[in-house]
Amino acid sequence: MGRSVKLLIGLVVALAAAWVGHGPLGQGAAFIDRTEALARTAVRDAGVPGVDVRFGRDPLSRAAILSGPANDFQREGIGDLPGITQRVADVPGVASARWDNGGRPIPLVAETLGLAALAYLIGVVLGRILFRPKRKSFLE
């Protein structure tokens, strides 16, 4: 079996493991739950009643969708005073924050699989260095 086939099989196994962690084991949903709770705290701290924030659930995504009664000043802020949009966008884990439901956010599973592929690649590079066949002499 060729090297590239072996590395491809390894990549498929790594992505499958990442998908199992993200989906069936609930890691992706747990991340969105935590981020949503932090974003709700940020909205509450802004002190504008009736404003809510939620995240994409089908598919899971890190794009925050804001809704509720708020004027332009409350939404966008002024000068150094951040509005609700900026406060939510600054929450760790949030990719973007907007007031409408348009657009197509990047699914969380795609980001997780991308990160897993990167980790796999780092592992392969490290392994290439660690498990490189040693030369017996400089003439080989």
Partner 1 sequence: MSGLVALARFDLPILAVALVIGLAAARWAFTQRRKPEEPPRS
Q: Which parts of this chain interact with partner 1 (CB under 8 A)?
A: 3, 6-7, 9-11, 13-15, 17-18, 21-22, 27, 30-31, 34-35, 62, 92-95, 108, 111-112, 115-117, 119-128, 130-133
The residue (of 101 and 119) whose beta carbon lies closer to partner 1 is: 119
85 membership: H or E segment, kind and range: helix 84-89
By C-beta, is 51 or 64 nearer to partner 1?
64
- In the complex, the smallest distance separating the C-beta of residue 139 from partner 1, rounded to whole angstroms, is 18
Q: How far apart are CA 140 and CA 134, in angstroms?
A: 10
CB of residue 74 to partner 1, shortest distance in Å? 23
Which CB atom, from 104 or from 134, has the smaller least distance to partner 1?
A: 134
The span from the CA of 19 to the CA of 121, in Å, is 17
Q: Exposure pattern of 15-41 as b/e (b: 16+ CB <10 Å)? A: beebbeebeeeeebeebbeebbeebbe
* Distances from the Cα of 75 to the Cα of 56, 80, 85, angstroms: 20, 14, 6
Q: How far is the CB of 66 from partner 1 (least distance, A)?
A: 16
Please say which residue, 78 or 134, places its beta carbon nearer to partner 1.
Answer: 134
Q: How far is CA 71 from the centre of its chain?
A: 30
Report, in Å, the least distance between residue 80 CB and partner 1.
Answer: 20
